[in-house]
Amino acid sequence: MSASESYELVGWLIDAVPANWPDGTIPDKLSFVDRDNSETYDGVKTLRSRKGELTKANYLSFSKASTTPTAQGPGYDLDREDVVSCRLEGLHTDQYGHVDNAAAFQQLWRNIRDAIYADRRRPVGDYHTLFIENIRDASGDYRDYFRVDFEVRFWGCEELP
């Protein structure tokens, strides 16, 4: 996948979440990060360093998409499956973060999920469908650090010359 195709999917997600926010009022302390182009997010290696970043805002981050092209019938066109890896992180207010409790974080996650699914039938370009998969909610692993990892899979087709 070329860099522009990857940026197209990541950029679409970064734009779609605030545009489709369920009640129209996206939280002030939610930052969107392209992990492939981020000085803020990249380079933070330890949980202690990550918690320091999370005192500034909750982070919803996306990484470069992977691509799986498959031949479509006897012709030269391709079915495409592209995946964007996503991560939502937050820190409890007791640790100077922006998450009041586990229920508030779960609501934030549900709003993000609903915003992504709002355009699931014709998301972007030659893609006709998207869905969220491989959800791993690691929030229970830490008392003050909340995290959900998930993937957004885009389905589409590509007509070759």
Q: Which domains does the chain have, with CATH numbers?
A: 3-158 (3.30.2000.10)
Cα distance between residue 161 and residue 154, in whole Å: 22
pLDDT exceeds 70 at position 144: yes
| Bridge partners of residue 41, in order along the sequence | none
pLDDT, tens digit (0-9, with 9 covering 90-100), for 16-39: 999 999 988 888 889 888 877 765
Q: What tokens were used for 51?
A: 């918690």
- pLDDT grade for 139, boundaries at 50, 70 and 90: confident
DSSP states of 54-75: HTT-EEEEE-PPEEEEEE-TTS
Residues across the chain: 161
In terms of C-beta density within 10 A (0-12 exposed, 13-18 middle, 19 or more buried), how is residue 148 classed?
A: buried
Per residue in 60-119, pLDDT tens?
Answer: 988 877 888 787 777 778 888 899 999 999 999 998 999 999 999 999 999 999 999 998
pTM of the model: 0.84
Q: What are 85's two structure tokens?
A: 């890896």
What pLDDT shows up at residue 4? 45
> Tell me: the pLDDT tens digits for 3-16?
445 568 988 999 99
Q: Answer whether residue 49 shows pLDDT above 80.
A: no
